[in-house]
């Protein structure tokens, strides 16, 4: 899992509306939330993490006056397991986002994507530039743009910012092993402290939200031969919609310095660094996040 996040997570027994729709290949997919007014479509990270971990993004829906529609990507949540495993590939899932847009009856999308999901959002914007109204890349995965992994020196500097934490050595070693291809749910739990400003009872609970049993299988296929960064960046020249690249100051996937490089891949983009936040900024500081993103969406 190259990249993966309590803000208003559903309580036990709390009803959550889940709606199903057919994607381009007939696979039945689902999304959480309602679409009764203006919508922000949200793509979770992981890849293959259930969007329950996004909660309500710290109250972003209320702050922006939008309904948050959280896609449960294929093979996760109540979305069906596809007949063809190759459709887990990131570029193949672009068709799922387009099928959701058509299901919602929207001419253009306000699209927000977290972590690994940002790769999917970027490929969607490259293929369907006229279908994007505004695009938010939140703590984004950067493989689709050819900017991942970051240079070793940039990553080392980002990791070193957390070196005073008591959990640092174990988390650093587990994280570097994961980046080298030796990842698992067990190792994620060891490096999860890197994803938060504070490691406490609340964030420990949040770190387990949305982990899916098929995540390892899906992740292995998600990245495989899915990206052509040069072609993607060239296609993005047709994107006229504004883009917000949003990074946590303490994040390591990507480090803020690396996320800033993504701005140059878009004709109209701005960059925001969330002070003192890491990979799950709506957990670290929901008020700062909702104010900044709501202003952009407006």
Residue 12: pLDDT above 50? no
**How do strand 18-22 and strand 28-32 relate by DSSP bridges?**
antiparallel
How confident is the model over 248-278, as pLDDT tens digits?
A: 999 999 999 999 999 999 999 999 999 999 9
pLDDT attached to residue 13: 37
Specify whether the CB–CB gap between 246 and 137 falls below 8 A: yes
Mean pLDDT, rounded, of the chain: 93
- Token readout for 155 is 């990553």
For 79-84, what is the mean pLDDT? 98
Q: Where are the beta strands (DSSP E) in 149-276?
A: 243-248, 269-274
Find residue 136's DSSP bridge partners.
Answer: 112, 244
Q: Where are the beta strands (DSSP E) in 107-207?
A: 109-114, 132-138
d(CA 91, CA 81): 17
DSSP letter at 45 equals -
Residue 7: pLDDT above 80? no
Residue 10: pLDDT above 60? no
pLDDT attached to residue 15: 56
- Token readout for 246 is 């949003």
For 128-151, what is the mean pLDDT? 97
Q: How confident is the model at residue 61 (pLDDT cuts 50, 70, 90)?
A: very high
Residue 14: pLDDT above 60? no
pTM of the shown model: 0.94
Q: Which of 241, 282, 279 is nearest to 64 (CA)?
A: 282
d(CA 123, CA 92): 10
Write the Ramachandran bin of 259: left for phi over 0, alpha for psi from -120 to 50, otherwise beta.
alpha
Residue 8: pLDDT above 60? no
The helix or strand, by DSSP H or E, that contains position 69, with its residue range, turns out to be strand 67-72
Write the Ramachandran bin of 193: left for phi over 0, alpha for psi from -120 to 50, otherwise beta.
alpha
Contact partners, residue 157, CB within 8 Å, separation at least 6 = 255, 257
pLDDT attached to residue 227: 98
pLDDT attached to residue 37: 87
What domains appear along the chain, each with residue ranges and CATH number?
Answer: 18-150+212-297 (3.40.50.1820)
d(CA 230, CA 227): 9
d(CA 150, CA 185): 23
Q: What is the DSSP string of 260-274?
A: GGGGGGSSSEEEEEE
How confident is the model over 194-253, as pLDDT tens digits?
A: 999 999 999 999 999 999 989 999 999 999 999 999 999 999 999 999 999 999 999 999
């Amino acid at each position: 899992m190259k990249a993966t996040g309590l803000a208003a997570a559903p309580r036990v027994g709390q009803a959550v509306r889940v709606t199903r729709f057919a994607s381009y290949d007939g696979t039945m997919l689902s999304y959480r939330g309602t679409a009764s007014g203006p919508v922000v479509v949200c793509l979770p990270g992981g890849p293959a993490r259930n969007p329950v971990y996004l909660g309500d993004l710290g109250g972003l829906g209320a702050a922006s006056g939008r309904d948050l529609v959280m896609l449960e990507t294929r093979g996760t949540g109540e979305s069906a397991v596809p007949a063809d495993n190759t459709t887990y590939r990131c570029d193949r899932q672009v068709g799922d986002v387009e099928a959701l847009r058509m299901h919602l009856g929207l001419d253009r999308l306000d699209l927000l994507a977290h972590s690994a999901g940002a790769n999917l959002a970027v490929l969607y914007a490259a293929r369907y530039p006229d279908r994007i109204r505004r695009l938010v890349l939140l703590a984004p995965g950067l493989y689709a743009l050819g900017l991942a992994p970051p240079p070793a020196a940039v990553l080392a500097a980002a990791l070193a910012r957390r070196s005073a934490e008591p959990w640092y050595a174990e988390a650093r070693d587990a994280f570097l092993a994961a980046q080298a291809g030796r990842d698992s749910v067990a190792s994620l739990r060891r490096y999860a402290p890197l994803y938060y400003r504070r490691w406490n009872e609340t964030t420990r609970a949040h770190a387990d939200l949305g982990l899916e049993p098929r995540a390892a299988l899906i992740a292995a296929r998600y990245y495989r031969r899915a990206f052509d960064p040069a072609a993607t960046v060239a296609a993005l020249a047709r994107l006229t919609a504004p883009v917000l690249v949003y990074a946590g100051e303490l994040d390591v996937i990507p480090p803020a310095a690396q996320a800033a490089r993504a701005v140059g891949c878009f004709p109209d983009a701005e960059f925001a660094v969330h002070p003192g936040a890491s990979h799950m900024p709506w957990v670290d500081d929901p008020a700062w996040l909702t104010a900044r993103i709501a202003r952009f969406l407006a």
